Amino acid sequence: MPTPLENIRRRYETTEKKCPDCGYVDEGRNWESRTDGKRVIYRHVCPSCDASREHTFRLG
């Protein structure tokens, strides 16, 4: 079973493919996640224009 965090990541990978800055649709699923133990930060960098997006979730 996927964990809740995997579900969140998957949601971004499938629903936030399009860059709001340049309109590039990223099929490569370049979301990366990192955590500091209290939060999980999902980050995406557009391969076309280098614009970055971040979503932060608090754990627990």
Binding site for Zn ion (CB under 5 A): 19, 21-22, 24, 46, 48-49, 51
User: Of 6 and 50, which has the nearer Cβ to Zn ion?
Assistant: 50
User: Of 49 and 59, which has the nearer Cβ to Zn ion?
Assistant: 49
User: Of 6 and 21, which has the nearer Cβ to Zn ion?
Assistant: 21
Helix/strand/coil (H, E, C) string of 2-56? CCHHHHHHHHHHHHCCECCCCCCECCCCCCEEEECCCEEEEEEECCCCCCEEEEE
Which token pair is 15?
A: 């629903």
For the bound state, the minimum distance from the C-beta of residue 16 to Zn ion, rounded and expressed in Å, comes to 12
